[in-house]
Amino acid sequence: MKKAIVILLSSLLVASLLVGCADKNSSESKDEKKTQQTEQKKPTVSKKFKKLMDSYEDFFNEYIKFMKKYNDSDNALEMITDYTNYLTKYTKMMKKLENIDQSKLSEEDAKYYTKVMARINKKLASVTTGKN
């Protein structure tokens, strides 16, 4: 009888240890999942906004090349067609920017906007001052 009680208690002890270990693994697993979800949810610039801002910067890169060419040219009248094309492109680009729902922009989007605008302004300043 003593042997049966010892076996029963031993079995209960082993079972409780296994349950305790299972709960620990389960909570560790939950912690790992939370960590993975947090890592996956790191704030990023939205793809659509980044694409728009990249195209905006590309437009200004082209425009700056044009302005440098214009500054070096002796005949600005020959470039009037190019300038008119840039004005049309600029109008379209500004329409796209105006259509942005600013309430949906993330903090990362705002940071990216600031970085792009800083790069553009620096390039524009180099054209007006003549520094490259």
Model confidence pLDDT, tens digit, residues 75-118: 888 889 888 998 999 999 999 989 988 898 999 999 999 999 99
pLDDT given at position 4: 44
Report which of 58, 62, 64 is spatially closest to residue 126, judged by C-alpha positions. Answer: 64
Q: pTM of the prediction?
A: 0.63
Q: In this structure, are residues 45 and 112 in contact, taking their beta carbons and an 8 Å threshold? A: yes
Residue 53 and residue 49: Cα distance in Å, rounded?
6
Residue 7 and residue 1: Cα distance in Å, rounded?
10
* Residue 52 pLDDT class (50, 70, 90 cuts): very high
Q: In this structure, are residues 106 and 46 in contact, taking their beta carbons and an 8 Å threshold? A: yes
Residue 92 and residue 102: Cα distance in Å, rounded?
18
